[in-house]
Amino acid sequence: MPTTSLPSTPARRRIVVVGGVAGGMSAAARVRRLDETASVVVLEQSPYVSFANCGLPYHLSGEIESRDSLLLHTPESLREALALDVRTGSRVTAIDRAARTVTVRTADDEYRLGYDALLLAPGAVAVRPPVDGLDHPAVHALRTVPDLDALTARVASLPADGPRRAVVVGAGFIGLEAVEALVERGLEVTLVELADHVLPPLDAELAPLLADELRAHGVALHLGVSASAITSTDDGGALVALSDGTRLAADVVVVNVGVRPASDLARDAGLRLGARGAITVDGDQRTSDPHVWAVGDAVEVTHAVTGETGPVPLAGPANRQGRRAADAMLGRRTTPQAPVLGTAIVRVFGLTAAVTGASQATLERAQTEHSTVRIHAGHHAGYFPGAEQVHVVASFAPDGRLLGAQAVGREGVDKRIDVLATALRAGMTADDLAELELAYAPPYGSAKDPVNMLGFVAQNVLDGTMPQWRAADVDDVLATSLVLDVRTRGEFDRGHLDGALNIPHTELRDRLDEVGDAADGRPVAVHCASGVRSHIATRVLLAAGLDARNLSGGWLSLTTTRPDLARTPEGAHA
């Protein structure tokens, strides 16, 4: 096997990058911008070295019309602009760390290539669930350009006037984007998810908002079940068998149930891996070998809130890691890898959902003490036309530090989650959120922005000004407390909890004796629509010496979490 000789002088230091796309190409481009003399070789096994993988679903839907728009660079454009030696169709099969060479296999050849510094950016590969029949021609993934091409061709082959049925397995970020794209292409879509709610990283109390939006666009949901087998039908389609016995006919099946680090090459080379199979790196992206760096979906990172380690497959961190690794390989000052927040966002038809930091479920698994607050605020001033509610849930440590936040809404979600992600990175507290100065004009926000409101509510909860109860505890509350509904009579008549006493908050001061008699020594569980009026009512009751608590997030949070409990006066479901 021929061996390409190592560079003979430091002036022609060779840096070999294995893998392109976000992390690898970010590193290669940064090396060239910093060092015009370095020899930079990029080895990419696919035909596409730099493409917008996050844009794939939006070309499938037709929203991005040109497929070429997704191809950010070609080997030719990178050679012309940055003098990079980009070799597509080149798979690295082995690393000889002692000789500092990699073995490269192409369609026609195999050779060794020497390096002074090696960067691994192999990315991640789709998890193949234990489902019989994944090789059926109707089954597709949606991670790469070839995946997109195959899926697009399958959809295009379906008759315009015949069955056009799709089953999407996995309701994560990519799965939801695939659902939206296939609906836009005119398919009848069914979504299957093993978890008990869509978008598992989202807390269960917000997920029903997304489920309702999906159903409103004709998507059938099968939650809490898995696909067990895929078989052929007589017409060339597929039959997807679910774990609960359901059978779903499909012309297209899209499977996206997660990814795993593509770390086999690193493992075979003896590099250190973490417990979840990702490559272990230091703050400068250096692996356990001082001449090898690694970036992107295949590397292990630390979560900023929980301290847990593992891969986080996001484009933003991958790009920053590539830049950092390039600086480190060239001996420059670096900004060490900060713990990651896992900030992510997705569009689901007319809704947007976004997360940052730790969810309630994550905090509970980690046994991290926290208080959670909920608000339903307008995305801009309520008196300006078009105000939409932003549903925000945020968790705080006992000392007031923000631990995580999630939001769902039709407008303004991205703005708030970005502010909250920045606050998390800065270690801000509820007091800091309350004091943030954010841009305000009626078309854009409110004088008290939803982020400020989160701070205000959290301050009240953390310092004991506002004792609260949660929708998740409603069964215990109904058994042990008097429920006081302080909404208007009209709101109450449209749906309320069984046994609730309705006294509008404007009448409460004159009817305190009525509350005391009804409570008969029990705690008073107060609620209104969103928590604002019941805040006032709870303070009135506390001042009167009653044991009162306010429902966090109000009726809106309760009916999202437990719609079965909302009843009309006649006892029917509201």
Percent of the chain with pLDDT over 90: 89
Q: How confident is the model at residue 573 (pLDDT cuts 50, 70, 90)?
A: very low
Residue 295 identity (one-letter amino acid)? V
Beta-carbon count within 10 A of 126 CB: 18
Please tell me whether residue 295 adopts helix, strand or coil conformation.
coil
For 40, half-sphere exposure in the C-beta direction (CA atoms, 13 angstrom radius) is 28
pLDDT of 224 above 50: yes
Query: Mapping DSSP to helix (H, G, I), strand (E, B) and coil, where does residue 423 land?
Result: helix
Distance CA(354)–CA(305), nearest Å, equals: 17
Q: Mean of the pLDDT values across residues 382-409?
A: 97
Distances in Å between the alpha carbon of 470 and those of 49, 488, 554?
A: 49, 21, 9
Which pLDDT does position 219 carry in this prediction?
Answer: 98
Residues of the chain with CATH 3.50.50.60: 3-124+260-329, 139-257, 350-462
Beta bridge partners of 526: 484, 550
75-126 pLDDT, tens digit per residue, is 999 999 999 999 999 999 999 999 999 999 999 999 999 999 999 999 999 8
Residues 6+ apart with CB under 8 A from 27: 17, 119, 121, 293, 295, 322, 323, 325, 326, 329
Judged against a pLDDT cut of 60, whether residue 342 lies above it is answered with yes
Query: Cα(178)–Cα(170) distance, rounded to whole angstroms?
Result: 10
Distance CA 25, CA 317 (A): 13
Report helix angle 21-34 to 315-329, nearest 10: 30
C-alpha 97/C-alpha 113 separation (Å) is 12
Structure tokens at 329: 């390989």
Residue 234 is predicted with a pLDDT of: 86
What is the torsional sign of CA 74, 80, 82, 84? positive
User: Does the pLDDT value for residue 1 go beyond 80?
Assistant: no
- Residue 273 vs residues 263, 277, 279, 343, 396: alpha-carbon distances, Å: 8, 6, 4, 24, 33
Going by C-beta distance under 8 Å and a sequence separation of 6 or more, which residues neighbour residue 60? 142, 148, 151, 152, 155, 178, 181, 182, 185
Convert the pLDDT of each residue in 412-435 to its tens digit: 999 999 999 999 999 999 999 999
563 pLDDT band (50/70/90 cuts)? Answer: confident
CATH topology of domain 468-565: Oxidized Rhodanese; domain 1 (3.40.250)
- CA pair distance 109, 256, nearest whole angstrom: 34
Residue 142 in this model has a pLDDT that exceeds 70: yes
C-alpha 270: how far from its chain's center?
Answer: 32
What percent of the chain stands above pLDDT 70? 97
Q: Tens of pLDDT along 36-66?
A: 999 999 999 999 888 888 999 999 999 999 9
- Specify the higher pLDDT residue, 411 or 566: 411
Q: In the prediction, which pLDDT does 572 show?
A: 39
- Tell me the pLDDT band of 561, cut-offs 50, 70 and 90: confident
Closest CA to 121 of 295, 274, 334, 362: 295
Domain(s) labelled CATH 3.40.250.10 in the chain stretch across 468-565
Q: Which of 551, 555, 574, 556 shows the shortest CA–CA distance to 564?
A: 574
- Provide the edge-to-edge strand list for the sheet that holds 91-96: 3-4, 110-114, 101-105, 91-96
Superfamily of domain 139-257: FAD/NAD(P)-binding domain (3.50.50.60)
Partnered with residue 50 across adjacent β-strands are 73
Q: What's the first-to-final CA gap in the chain, in angstroms?
A: 75
CA–CA gap between residue 486 and residue 505 (Å, rounded): 5
Q: What is the pLDDT of residues 236-294, one digit of tens each?
A: 899 999 999 999 999 999 999 999 999 999 999 999 999 999 999 999 999 999 999 99
Q: What is the enclosing helix (H) or strand (E) of 375?
A: strand 371-378
Is residue 569 very low, low, confident or very high in pLDDT (cuts 50, 70, 90)? very low
341 phi, psi to nearest 5 deg: -100, -20
Sign of the torsion formed by the C-alpha atoms of 514, 516, 522 and 523: positive
Q: Is 386 exposed, middle or buried (0-12, 13-18, 19+ CB in 10 A)?
A: exposed
φ/ψ of 214, rounded to 5, equals -60, -45
What's the fold here for domain 3-124+260-329?
FAD/NAD(P)-binding domain (3.50.50)
Output the pLDDT for position 21: 84
Q: Among all residues, which ones are annotated catalytic?
A: 54
Q: Residues near 322 by Cβ (< 8 Å), separated by ≥ 6?
A: 22, 23, 24, 25, 26, 27, 28, 30, 119, 121, 295, 296
Q: What is the second-level CATH architecture of the domain 350-462?
A: 3-Layer(bba) Sandwich (3.50)
Question: Do 27 and 328 touch, CB atoms closer than 8 A?
Answer: no
Tell me: pLDDT of 5 over 50: no
Closest CA to 322 of 9, 7, 40: 40
